[in-house]
Structure 1
Amino acid sequence: MAKRIILYTGKGGVGKTTVAAATALLAAKKGYKVLVISTDAAHSLGDSFDMELGPEPKEIMPNLFAQEVDVYYSVEKYWGKLTEYLQSLLRWLKVDEILTEEFSILPGMEEVSSFLWVYHHFQDELYDVIIVDSAPTGETLRLLSLPDVARWWIVKVFPIERKVIKVIRPAMKVVTDMPLPEDHTYDAIEELFDKLDSIHNTFSNPEITSIRLVLNLEKMVIKETQRAYTYLNLYGYPVDSVIINRTMPKELEHPFFEEWKKTQLGYREEVEELFSPIPTFEAKLFSKEVLGMNSLEEFGLNLFSKKDPIRIFFKGKPYEIIKEGGSYQLLLKLPFVSKEEIKLFQIKDELTIQIENHRRNILLPRFLADLPVKEAKYQDEMLRIIFEKKERKPRG
């Protein structure tokens, strides 16, 4: 299996693609066999390397392969059975043939296909490290939360729906020629959701995956990065560093830039404080576009200096369960939120934590499943959920 997965995310326009490409180039120069894959529909990875890329990995220099995910190619590869059924249903509904192909690609298929590519390459064991140039923060967070939603659907809804269709299919065929999903369609869906679950397990393993947040020293960008960090903690994904891109170099001396440099210095200190103890790396603003191998190598060396760019820079537990004073407590680090923003629900063995539009379902271990939540406290960026003590039954 691939030894490492590194995923770069951040607000649109902060320079994720440049950072991902430079990291990949440096790692390849150090002797690692590297794949850098773009999951962003904008597809600027090829522009960064100053060459054409395709929907399959392409070797662009010794040890370095690059790929830009293509939506139609990927949907056909990973969603073939489902799109076949959707197209047959749309044809039955007399939808125009051109629109049939377009409508059979459901929202989210492209993004999910991107991560299925990552999973496929991870399982293939062809690369030492896979570097992901991901979509802007919001899209990436929706995608990273999908395995949680999928797991709930596959456990709670999928078995019932499949049984119902199996029962009504013979009767429906008598009264209508409307196509119904066959068993092989459900098999394909189940296989996909199993892969999504495996993706979550892989991406939440800090020994394998590191998520790196890329930002510029601007107020709105820093705020969005804070929110992203909160949600990544909520879903249990490991962040190992923050990349500060396009800082004004010290040698840039001109009255016009003095206020910018002063503003950036203040935000620089704020970022260090906000994300501590996670390490930060800084890349200065170059005097020209960072395009092509030579510029990317210079950028990467400026960013990481002599450090190995694929090492794990920070490890921390997303949540842990402890026993204190006879009560079990679940501790979850949630920075940059107020206690009023946190909502908590418990249904039997399932605990749901919601912040704004993002929610995470935590399947409780068996020893907590029958214990109701007594109270929840939020202090020092830590959510502490305390469960009722289990009463001992008197011996008869």
Structure 2
Amino acid sequence: MAINHAHHDEPTRFFLFGGKGGVGKTTLAAAHALRLAAAGDRVLLVSTDPAHSVSDLLGTKLGAEATAAGENLWAMEIDPTADAEQYVDSIREDAREAVSKAVLPALDRHLKLAVQAPGTAESALFDRFTRLMDMAPGDYDRIVFDTAPTGHTLRLLTLPSMLGAWVEGLAGQRAKVNRLQGMWRSMAGVSAPDRDDRVLSRLRQRADRFARARQRLHREALFHPVMLAERLPIEETVRLIAQLEEAGIPVGELFVNRLWPAGTGSDFVAERVAQQNEYLAEIRERFADYALVEVAQNARDIVGREQLDQLAGQLTGPAIVPL
């Protein structure tokens, strides 16, 4: 599938950077956000990097709320683990009120397992993503996510339909219980509480939000895989792209990060560059259908705004269509 920036009628509002740990996703996402902000868009950069390196990069102390980080730029740092626990708790609260007492022990067991299940932190993250996505185009023109869920997690996008079915099943069960309770109540002359319907409407809202996010990811998002010119990241990227295409998420430019510059001295460096160039040739061939952005390795780690601004200036991918 060749890259096609006109892959949808809507403008691209969401940019998701993904790839193995340690390939520089956070730095590239931050530079990309700066580039968009410089073009005049209101940009929110969302980081899930536990090392809080975005705070350092932008020279701004960030937290879980969006903080101004420059002209047209806001940023926030999310803690996925804390989010996961809150997420499961909120589901537990909703469900506890909505199911009959008899089912509660089973439900609690199920949810306890859910907190530890590998997908839960990602689901929580995804839940947060969907809330943030609702902020564009109202509060922000574009949102850049520095560590997007993998393609595998984006298949959680089938979750809305499952969640929808589960909510409706629950609703059916509720209605039956309510009818019985209603009968007893009317016989006893007690008025019925309305909180059950509040719970269901909250669950329905969540299912709807997920479904809406899925639609928008197909139409208004670009996923940018980030890799290094090394064996494992190449294979990882092949798998990631397959997952993204299966999930129907449009793939944007691939970033090949930390390329060693040629013509720098010693035999060791020459060997290193030669090996990198073999991998790079393979990357250009295997990912010929995608636009590639090749990013040179900085001699020093990128710390602080000045270097980040320089990097943003180097990211000359295809022109971003103005909103």
Shorter chain as denominator, the TM-score bin is 0.7 to 0.9
1:51 aligns with 60
Over the aligned positions, Cα root-mean-square deviation in angstroms equals: 3.5
CA deviations over 1:194-231 (Å, ceiling 9, x no partner): 111111111111xx221111000110111011000001
SS in structure 2 of the partner of residue 245 of structure 1:
strand
Residue 116 of structure 1 aligns with which residue? Answer: 130
Do residues 13 (structure 1) and 22 (structure 2) align? yes
- 2:141 is the alignment partner of 1:128: yes
* Aligned partner letter, 2:31: A
Secondary structure, in 3 states, of the residue corresponding to 2:265?
A: coil
**Aligned with residue 155 of structure 2, among 145, 153, 167:** 145
1:152 Cα offset (Å)? 3.6
Q: How many residues align?
A: 290
3-state DSSP of counterpart to 2:63: coil
For residue 77 of structure 1, report the CA deviation from its aligned partner. 9.1
In 1, are the aligned partners of 2:32 and 2:315 still within 8 Å (CA)? no
Q: TM-score normalized by structure 2?
A: 0.78
Write the mapping of 1:199-348 to structure 2, written as runs, cut at 5 A. 199-205=213-219, 208-304=220-316, 308=319, 310-311=320-321
- Deviation track 1:136-187 (CA, whole Å, cap 9, x = no partner) reads xxx4334311121321441x4432332113313576899xxxxxx9222221
Return closer, same or farther for 1:202/1:85 CA change in 2, 3 Å cut-off: closer
Quick one: distance in 2 between partners of 1:184 and 1:80?
Answer: 17
Unaligned runs of 5+ in 1: 94-101, 175-180, 313-396
**Alpha-carbon offset, residue 244 of structure 1:** 0.3
Aligned equivalent of 1:182, options 182, 186, 196: 196
* 1:84 aligned onto 2:93: yes
The more displaced of 218-227 and 245-254 is: 245-254
More helix by share: 2
CA separation in 2, counterparts of 1:110 and 1:42? Answer: 19
The residue that corresponds to 1:355 in the other structure is none
Give the whole-Å Cα distance in 2 for the aligned partners of 1:271 and 1:233: 18
Q: Is the 8 A contact 1:24 1:36 kept in 2?
A: yes
The whole-number CA distance in structure 1 between the counterparts of 2:85 and 2:244 is 30
- 8 Å Cα contact 2:15-2:144 kept in structure 1: yes
AA aligned to 1:31 is G
Among 60, 63, 75, the alignment partner of 2:69 is: 60
TM-aligned CA deviation for residue 3 of structure 1: 5.4
Q: Which sits farther off after the overlay, 73-82 or 290-299?
A: 73-82
Q: Report the equivalent of 2:3.
A: none
| Whole-angstrom distance in 2 between the partners of 1:87 and 1:293 | 48
Q: CA deviation at 1:87?
A: 7.6
Deviations 1:38-77 (A, max 9, x none): 1445543223323310111111111111111245886799
- Give how far 1:26 is off: 1.9
- Quick one: structure 1 residues 16 and 303, their matched pair in 2 at CA, closer, same or farther if it must change by over 3 Å? same
Determine which structure has the larger strand proportion and give its number.
1
Identify the residue that residue 34 of structure 1 maps to in structure 2.
43
- Find the aligned partners of 1:85 and 1:30 in 2 and give their Cα distance: 43
State TM-score, norm by structure 1.
0.64
C-alpha separation between the residues in 2 aligned to 1:189 and 1:2? 30
The residue aligned with 2:7 is none
d(CA) in 2 for partners of 1:183, 1:79: 20
